[in-house]
Structure 1
Amino acid sequence: MSGLPLIQPENATGEAAALLEAAQHALGLTPNLAKAMAHSPAALRGFLDLRRALGTGTLPAAAQESIALLVAQENGCDYGLSWHTYTGTKVAGLSHHQAHRARRAKAQDPLTGAALLLTRALIRHRGTLSDTELAAARGSGLSGGQITEIVAHLALNTLTTYVGKTARVSVDWPLVRHDDTHP
């Protein structure tokens, strides 16, 4: 079954055109996901705004990309895995081994490891943490602000995963498959 057609920047009009240009400027290219999101300028604007806002947060880029990798893995999203393996290794400084481990909620860095364990618990319990899980997150050194940012990163990456899968967006990054078990 085909998904949503992609809105090409040269064919976009109005706010969609301006947002696709903003995506090009912010990301250095206009990914297929943004072209699919352009069906709803509100959704594309929300994605770009939340992405920009979280980029100014306290979580390091490597932790942000690790969260994105885990969310994509848990949701079986090859688009997200491909995008975030690329940006994680080319921009955020993750090795391919670290990117692969992040997909399994594992990290050598204690902050990233704690963020991944919290993210996995949030995904698997649909946002309802036990007192023990919340205490473990706090005990691992995550601040209230970082816990809140982790929830926001989970929401951002769930949005992109769901749009990508619903629209059946073709992968425009080097392909990484969710069922690939080798680093």
Structure 2
Amino acid sequence: MPRLTRLTPDTAVGAARDLLGDLVSRHGRVSDMVATMAHSPAVLGGYLQLSRAMKRAKLDRKISERISIAIHEKQGCDLCLEAHIDAARGLGVDDDEIERARAGTSEDPAIAAIIELGLQVYREPTAITDEQIERLRGAGYRDREIADVVGVVSLNILTGAFNLVAGLKPGVVTESTY
């Protein structure tokens, strides 16, 4: 059972009401995570801004989904893990590669290296070396894609931590229209 309640445009107040009202008017519905994040307009607004910004990332979406899978496997957010596995499948990532991502790697050495970077940004960014960044450049990644990894990891830390604190889990989503 969720620890925090969902808000609606009718139950939210102030900036949260405005944010939810805008989202519902544009999309017809919002997820449980978004409805629950509305308890903190600062958190919801930050999530929405970072989420929109990361849609402009140059890192290939199939790669960012694999990084997300690796992060959530470690973080333990089953709701996020399920969502990113579904997204990866929707992009054509096969089940073997999804399992490798869950283990923090890939059959492709270049993708394995960028997943490893993502996990290091998550666990211990001080362990990242100049040589590691140079190897990523040698594998064809540009500075923008390397920087995008930090954004992908940051967004996943935010959503996973929020869902874990709020007690949101797969199978108990009550996504609905208002």
From the superposition, tell whether residues 108 and 43 of structure 1 become closer, same or farther in structure 2 (CA, over 3 Å): same
Give the aligned CA root-mean-square deviation in angstroms.
Answer: 2.7
Distance in 2 of aligned mates of 1:21 and 1:114: 41
From the superposition, tell whether residues 143 and 71 of structure 1 become closer, same or farther in structure 2 (CA, over 3 Å): same
Q: Is the 8 A contact 1:23 1:34 kept in 2?
A: no
Identity value in percent: 28
Aligned residues: 173
Q: Is the 8 A contact 1:70 1:104 kept in 2?
A: yes
Q: How far 1:114 moved relative to its partner? A: 2.9
From the superposition, tell whether residues 12 and 105 of structure 1 become closer, same or farther in structure 2 (CA, over 3 Å): same
From the superposition, tell whether residues 127 and 158 of structure 1 become closer, same or farther in structure 2 (CA, over 3 Å): farther
- Cα deviation digits, residues 137-174 of structure 1 (max 9, x gap): 23322211111100111111001111111111132589
Q: Which structure has the larger Rg over C-alpha atoms?
A: 2
Distance in 2 of aligned mates of 1:151 and 1:122: 7
Write the mapping of 1:13-162 to structure 2, written as runs, cut at 5 A: 13-21=13-21, 23=23, 29-90=29-90, 92-109=91-108, 111-162=110-161
Instruction: Specify every segment of 5 or more residues in structure 1 that has no aligned partner in the other structure, as ranges.
Output: 175-183
Q: How far 1:60 moved relative to its partner? A: 1.6
Q: Secondary structure at the match of 1:169?
A: coil
From the superposition, tell whether residues 29 and 139 of structure 1 become closer, same or farther in structure 2 (CA, over 3 Å): farther
Q: Is the 8 A contact 2:69 2:81 kept in 1?
A: yes
Instruction: Specify the alignment match of 2:170 in structure 1.
Output: 171
Q: How far 1:132 moved relative to its partner? A: 3.0
Q: Is the 8 A contact 1:71 1:157 kept in 2?
A: yes
Runs of 4+ in structure 1 off by over 6 angstroms are 25-28
Q: How far 1:22 moved relative to its partner? A: 5.2
Instruction: Specify every segment of 5 or more residues in structure 2 that has no aligned partner in the other structure, as ranges.
Output: 174-178
- Cα deviation digits, residues 6-62 of structure 1 (max 9, x gap): 224553344323433555578785222112211111211211111111111211211
From the superposition, tell whether residues 6 and 28 of structure 1 become closer, same or farther in structure 2 (CA, over 3 Å): same
Q: Is the 8 A contact 1:73 1:103 kept in 2?
A: yes
Give the partner amino acid of 1:155: S
Q: Is the 8 A contact 2:110 2:136 kept in 1?
A: no
